[in-house]
Amino acid sequence: MELWMIACMILTWIFIHRLSQRYKKGPKTWPLVGAAIEQLINFDRMHDWLVEYLSESKTVVVPMPFTTYTYIADPANVEHVLKTNFANYPKGEVYHSYMEVLLGDGIFNADGELWRKQRKTASFEFASKNLRDFSTTVFREYSLKLSAILSEASFHNQEVDMQDLLMRMTLDSICKVGFGVEIGTLAPNLPDNHFAQSFDNANIIVTLRFIDPLWKIKKFLNVGREALLDKCIKIIDDFTYSVIRRRKAEIVEARESGRKNMIKHDILSRFIELSEDMESNSTDKNLRDVVLNFVIAGRDTTATTLSWATYMIMTHADVAEKLYLELKTLEKEQAKEENVSLVQCDTEDSESFNQRVTQFAGLLNYDSLGRLYYLHAVITETLRLYPAVPQDPKGILKDDVLPDGTKVRAGGMVTYVPYSMGRMEYNWGPDAASFKPERWLKDGFFQNASPFKFTAFQAGPRICLGKDSAYLQMKMALAILCRFYKFSLVPGHPVKYRMMTILSMAHGLKLTIARRS
């Protein structure tokens, strides 16, 4: 009898709960498990699943077993979270615990005073002309290395995985800018690299913690992915600390020999100098965290955006042609301005072709790239539809009410969703789903949108410090690639995203290549 009454009470509870859900917008929820069932079913297409709900309602509440996620796509709500009430929406302890093993207490994993100090220092460094000039040289160097590989592939009619090549290029580039070292993953034979492999694996494993409620148990027992993570972190740390010790020794030697001009301009060298100048208690661990944060932020995000941009350009012939014409025009104008005679380019002769590519790359600098407004619009339009970070969750310190009246509770999470925001007609108009770089141009010049509407680089106090550097590298690479190559997707190759923190392509980007004169 008692069992029968308990069963009736449970069924009544479920019935009342389901009845209360009938007129609510958002996914189906159930007692105890919340919306976990529907979310699990749609996990591989989570970003598009959210697009469907956020197109019906600008705010979607998704209860889960241990917390509640509030997803927002309205710029007014985003501004409230990222700026107006910024202090109430930190990264939070949950995020910090997931990422600490890789990011430590670096700028992308810190809150409060620790974050503010790093932000202030990093902001000063990113404004440095020395770092900008050094980065420009590095980005040009590795874009040419990539071009040489593509040139060979086109000559031998070989297929390439463009995403893999771009990941190698950006990792090599950011390690040169961050550490001042050459790790060589983009060498012609595309060698394996223990640091690169460990970095990739660690990045994937810490990301999977967000959907694995048992990761702490696995970590305690040292089994499965968590056991592999320990091995990866050891390789990463051994490499990083060895570079730090070597760089410190080089700086001491340069000072003692009176050759201060020999000190490098990479981020690590600058932070070592700054920590000494400020007589801070900065340790090798602090330096390790600083550099790895910049590596993780500047590698995957840039390569992913370049991959989607390449795909968008080659699937929109009109965009590819406009871009090619802009680059040809710049080449002629810049050559005339610098009094350079352009060498003849024979697409059948590798030597003359590569010579012309190198000459063109030499014409590309911070100022000349800044005049490529259509290229800038192409990259920005790619980021609108395929943001490198498709979702960004924030913790909630205190109960709050969003501008649209939605109540959020302390301990929950608020997530603004750049992937959905770029596809919302209420944000971008009836052509929101179309790839249209022209939407960013007015009288031929690039026009920015509100960072609370175009959120690919976040907004407010945490707006991305590396935004200009990212654009610089992406424009350098795409200018060379789109000026001298045409890309075609390998027939039957699937292009879809993988459910990770970064919007990478699940199966890479398999292409064939043709040269352009």
Query: What is the end-to-end Cα distance of the chain in Å, rounded?
Result: 86
d(CA 102, CA 460): 25
Give every strand in the sheet of 392-395, ordered side by side: 59-63, 68-72, 413-416, 392-395
Query: CA angle, corner 363, sides to 172 and 476, nearest 5?
Result: 35
CA 306 to chain CA centroid, nearest Å: 10
C-alpha dist (Å) from residue 241 to 197, 205, 248, 286, 498: 17, 22, 11, 11, 32
Q: How far is CA 365 from the centre of its chain?
A: 23
CB contact set of 177 (below 8 Å; sequence gap of 6+): 131, 134, 135, 138, 266, 267, 294, 298
Amino acid found at 396: I
Kindly state the tokens that stand for 87.
């202090």
CB-neighbour burial class of residue 516 (10 A; exposed 0-12, middle 13-18, buried 19+): middle
User: Taking CA 260 as the corner, what is the angle to CA 257 and CA 265, rounded to the nearest 5 degrees?
Assistant: 135
Judged on CB neighbours under 10 Å (0-12, 13-18, 19+), 247 is buried
**Residue tagged 């990259």 (tokens):** 379
Please give the DSSP secondary-structure letter assigned to residue 258. T
Are 435 and 385 contacting, i.e. CB atoms less than 8 angstroms apart? yes
Residue 482 labelled as part of a binding site: no
Contacts of 114 (CB under 8 A, 6+ apart): 105
Strands 510-515, 392-395: parallel, antiparallel or unpaired by DSSP? unpaired
Residue 197, phi-psi category: left (phi > 0), alpha (psi -120 to 50), beta (remainder): alpha
User: Helices in 159-266 by DSSP H: which ranges?
Assistant: 162-178, 194-208, 215-221, 224-256
| HSE-up of residue 354 (Cα within 13 Å, Cβ side) | 16
Q: Name the phi and psi angles at 122, rounded to 5.
A: -65, -40
Binding residues: 464
Binding residues for heme: 464
